């Protein structure tokens, strides 16, 4: 009986912990977003993304601009590998960053993460923040490691 109670308590604690971990920190959910990025048309992927969007050091404010850039990357053949190298909390922009880039970083919500993943253009950093469709939202894509 005691053993059964302990097992139930352990499951409850585990479920509780899962419920409080943001989706941006769950690698399995991140990989689902990567899968959508690689396979879904950019005009549909936009529901999993959001503006402002940081692309390298450019902040895009219009959804149509973001779709155009994602289209351009798709045409160029960008494929992101479904493997997480690092999943770290988001950090502030460097002190010499432009005003718009600093504001972008300053306004990232507390669950924002910098997730480094491999791609056929080298390692890229995905900036994930918030949640849509029970998955993290992609709000930035930066070449290399942030």
Partner 1 sequence: MKLLFLVLFALAAAGLQAQDATIVYLAGDVDVRTEGGASFAADFGDELDSGDRVITRRTGEAELELTTGGTVNVGRDTVFIIGSTTGPTGEPTSRVAAAVGSFSFRFSAAVGNEPRIGSTTSVAGVRGTEVRVYVGSDGTTRYEVLEGLVEIEDAARSVTLGPEQAIEITPGAGVGPANVFAFLEQPIDYGVWNAGLVDGFLADPLPSLRGIAAEMQDLLDEIRRRAPEVEALLALSAEESGRLDEIEKADGLEARQEYFRDTVMPARRAARAAFVDFRFVVLSALSLDQHIFSRLAAEMEAWAFFDPDTGLIDEFRSELAAIRSQYEAVVVPWLVPSDLPWRF
47 binds partner 1 (CB under 8 A): no
* Contact residue for partner 1 among 22, 36, 40, 78 (CB under 8 A): 78
Options 2-10, 17-25, 30-38, 55-63: segment touching partner 1 (CB under 8 A): 55-63
| Two tokens, residue 20 | 């409080």
Burial class (CB in 10 A: 0-12, 13-18, 19+), 36: middle
* Structural element, H or E, at residue 10: helix 2-20
DSSP alpha helix (H) spans, 21-62: 27-39, 42-45
Residue 95 CB: number of other CB atoms within 10 A? 6
Please select the residue that binds partner 1; options are 2, 17, 99, 134, rule is CB under 8 A. 99
Nearer to partner 1, 39 or 64 (CB): 64
d(CA 10, CA 79) in angstroms, rounded, equals: 40
Q: Which of 1, 5, 17, 76 binds partner 1 (CB under 8 A)?
A: 76
DSSP state at residue 95: T
Residue with smaller CB distance to partner 1, 18 or 102: 102
Name the site residues for partner 1 (rule: CB under 8 A): 50-52, 55-56, 58-65, 68-69, 72-73, 76-78, 98-100, 103, 106-107, 120-121, 129-130, 137, 139, 143
């Amino acid at each position: 009986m005691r053993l059964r109670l302990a097992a139930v308590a352990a499951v409850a604690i585990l479920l509780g912990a899962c419920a409080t971990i943001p989706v941006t920190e769950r690698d399995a959910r991140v990989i689902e977003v990567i899968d959508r990025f690689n396979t879904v048309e950019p005009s549909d992927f936009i529901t999993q993304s959001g503006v402002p969007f940081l692309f390298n050091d450019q902040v895009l404010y219009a959804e149509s601009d973001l779709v155009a850039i994602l289209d351009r990357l798709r045409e160029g053949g960008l494929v992101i590998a479904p493997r997480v190298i690092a999943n770290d909390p988001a950090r502030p922009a460097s002190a010499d960053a432009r005003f718009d880039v600093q504001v972008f970083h300053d306004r990232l919500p507390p669950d924002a993460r910098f997730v480094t993943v491999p791609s056929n253009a080298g390692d890229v950093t995905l900036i994930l923040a918030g949640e849509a469709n029970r998955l993290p939202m992609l709000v930035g894509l930066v070449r290399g490691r942030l």
